[in-house]
Amino acid sequence: MSTRKRPPPGLSPEQKKARDNKARRRFKAYVRLVMANLFWLGDLDDSLGENVMLNIHKLTKKKIKKSTLTTKEKIILSKPKEDRTEEEKHLLNRAIGGLKVFRRYPPNVKSQLAAVTYFVYIGPDRVIVKQDHAPSAMYFLLSGEGVVTVRTYDKMLKEWIEEEHGTVGPGTMFGEVALIHGISRTATITTTMPCELLMIKKEDFNIVLKETVWKAWEESTRIINRYSYFKNWDTVTKRECSIISRTKTYCPDEVVLGDNIGLPAYSYLITKGTCSIIEHLQVMVTKKDGIKHHKLVIFEGETCVVVRNKKSQKGKCSSKGKGLSSILGLKTKSSQLGIQQSSSGKLNQYSNSVFEINESNIENHFMKVCELSEGAIFNIGETFERRRVVAQTNVNCLLIPRYWLIKMNKDNIWNRVQQYLNKNIPSTQKIYQEWLKEKKFVAYRKMLVQDILANKRVSNTNCIHNVPYSIRIKENAD
């Protein structure tokens, strides 16, 4: 006997069809919700068992940051916006308002976003947006990762070439460029792992976010017109650069780039505030005859390179190009190291040897290399190993894709800037030599003070009892 519920009598064919479509949509919604949470639920058991291969897989697999949204919030975000109650909208307002991707927006915009935002789960190796396609929505990436590719036609080879232009991670907003300017997608974004996103459809974007995003785009345009880097660009080039660039703010002591933080595929133009470049100096300490010896260590996988000072020769460190220095806003100085630009100095030659060492003998020192002020640009291809950029004050940056700067390299400006940065920012070896010199000077100063005190022959025998009693009473010496 069938348990299927029979339709109520008196329904027209159109009503039956509408009812069936509603049931079908509800079933699909439940299936999508199960798929969206299946991956995360399957990752709950991280305990090790007797299966060695399974244990190795659990220990070595890449940990994926999960969404901060609860299952209840995902269910509400999967519902059509018309079916959400006021209580559910209030709950979403609190949940979405606390997310990092929405911190830039004012409270009234956040409340509107809570009413029109949808939750989307996309598995690995799936296309989120495709280049040259018409836009239908914009996205906020909550968890997971995607790779950005751009397909261009090479006139020399007479074929289409697909180039990878970095990745997008949690906290990234994308898809708004095509919507705000009414153009096709400028790039393809493909997931490399399971991703959770928040989606805003085109019609809702036009009502809620278009004005806010447009103001951000206008700010990018003003920044580009302000700096001389872009003075030889025409209006069309500046407009396209504004479209693909983004602005970002940082708090004091926040890492801007480095330590797997930031966007390596973008160049950073500081429009407000000051940053510092911090060098991670690793030094191997050994003892011989009770004396400590230091050697610079550069780790390369499981081995390391120990840099030894073989010989030195005199040379010159040119301080030309002050005009470019003022444009870059670069100050190569450090209170810790006392590094300053000078007209002459010593250039050392080094020989490298590779071998295994004990990591317990390694000292880690974080040294301030230089300051980058307003107008400075970095991460355009200069040497950046073992370094990170940290905000000293509240910092605003304009992020421009590096491929775009290479493509629009008029007058060879970016190659000149890159060479200038590599020449004037001290290298790891120079920082190590300055650190070693400072350490030796501190030890020499301490020893010198001790020797002076030890060789002092006239001792001071004066004491409080040599002061007249009347003065001691007046001055409360006792």
Interval 32-84: pLDDT, tens: 766 655 655 544 445 555 665 555 555 555 455 556 778 788 888 888 888 88
Regarding whether 258 and 160 lie in a shared domain, the answer is no
Q: What pLDDT is stored for residue 342 in this prediction?
A: 29
- Please give the residue that has the higher pLDDT: either 243 or 209: 209
Regarding whether 340 and 411 lie in a shared domain, the answer is yes
Q: What pLDDT is stored for residue 67 in this prediction?
A: 61
Confidence bin at 338 (pLDDT 50/70/90): very low
Are the CB atoms for 425 and 384 separated by under 8 Å? no
First to last CA, the chain: 109
Regarding whether 273 and 186 lie in a shared domain, the answer is no
Are the CB atoms for 189 and 129 separated by under 8 Å? yes
Q: Is residue 369 part of a domain?
A: yes
Longest dimension (CA), the chain: 120
Regarding whether 166 and 274 lie in a shared domain, the answer is no
Cα separation values, 300 from 192, 280, 304, 351, 459, Å: 26, 14, 5, 16, 57
Confidence bin at 392 (pLDDT 50/70/90): very high
Regarding whether 275 and 174 lie in a shared domain, the answer is no
> Which of 177-181, 239-243, 458-462 has the highest average model confidence (pLDDT)?
177-181
Regarding whether 254 and 191 lie in a shared domain, the answer is no
Q: How far is the C-alpha of 102 from the C-alpha of 22, rounded, in Å?
A: 33
Q: What pLDDT is stored for residue 474 in this prediction?
A: 62
Regarding whether 421 and 294 lie in a shared domain, the answer is yes
Q: What is the CATH number of the domain that holds 89?
A: 2.60.120.10
- Which pLDDT tens digit goes with each residue over 83-98? 888 888 888 888 877 7
- Which pLDDT tens digit goes with each residue over 95-140? 877 777 777 777 888 888 888 889 888 888 899 999 999 999 999 8
- What's the alpha-carbon Rg for the chain, to the nearest Å? 31
For residue 411, pLDDT over 80 is answered with: no
340 Cβ partners below 8 Å, 6+ apart? 332, 333
Q: Is residue 383 part of a domain?
A: yes
Q: Is residue 263 part of a domain?
A: yes
For residue 340, pLDDT over 80 is answered with: no
> Percent of the chain, pLDDT > 70?
75
Q: What is the pTM of this model?
A: 0.57
Q: What pLDDT is stored for residue 274 in this prediction?
A: 93
Q: What pLDDT is stored for residue 358 in this prediction?
A: 59
Regarding whether 389 and 260 lie in a shared domain, the answer is yes
Q: What pLDDT is stored for residue 312 in this prediction?
A: 35
- Please give the residue that has the higher pLDDT: either 264 or 331: 264
Q: Is residue 189 part of a domain?
A: yes
Which of these three, 420, 435, 450, is where a domain ends?
Answer: 435
- What is the extent of the structural domain holding 370? 247-435
> Percent of the chain, pLDDT > 90?
8
Confidence bin at 390 (pLDDT 50/70/90): very high
Average pLDDT on 438-466 reads 79
Regarding whether 401 and 310 lie in a shared domain, the answer is yes
Average pLDDT on 184-207 reads 90
Which of these three, 161, 181, 208, is where a domain ends?
Answer: 208
- Which pLDDT tens digit goes with each residue over 280-333? 888 888 888 777 877 887 765 555 566 655 443 333 333 333 344 444 445 543
Q: Is residue 50 part of a domain?
A: no
- Please give the residue that has the higher pLDDT: either 216 or 22: 22
Domain tally, the chain: 2
Q: How far is the C-alpha of 194 from the C-alpha of 302, rounded, in Å?
A: 30
Q: What pLDDT is stored for residue 191 in this prediction?
A: 93
Q: Which stretch of 7-16, 88-97, 206-215, 456-465 has the lowest confidence by average pLDDT?
A: 456-465
Q: Is residue 6 part of a domain?
A: no
Regarding whether 313 and 179 lie in a shared domain, the answer is no
- The pLDDT mean for the chain works out to 76
438 Cβ partners below 8 Å, 6+ apart? 337, 338
- Which of 213, 77, 194, 66 minimizes the C-alpha distance to 135? 213
Regarding whether 192 and 130 lie in a shared domain, the answer is yes
Regarding whether 277 and 195 lie in a shared domain, the answer is no
Q: Which stretch of 244-253, 288-297, 345-354, 367-376 has the lowest confidence by average pLDDT?
A: 345-354
Which of these three, 208, 237, 269, is where a domain ends?
Answer: 208
Q: Backbone dihedral region of 67: left (phi > 0), alpha (psi from -120 to 50 degrees) or beta? A: beta
Q: Is residue 278 part of a domain?
A: yes
Q: Is residue 470 part of a domain?
A: no
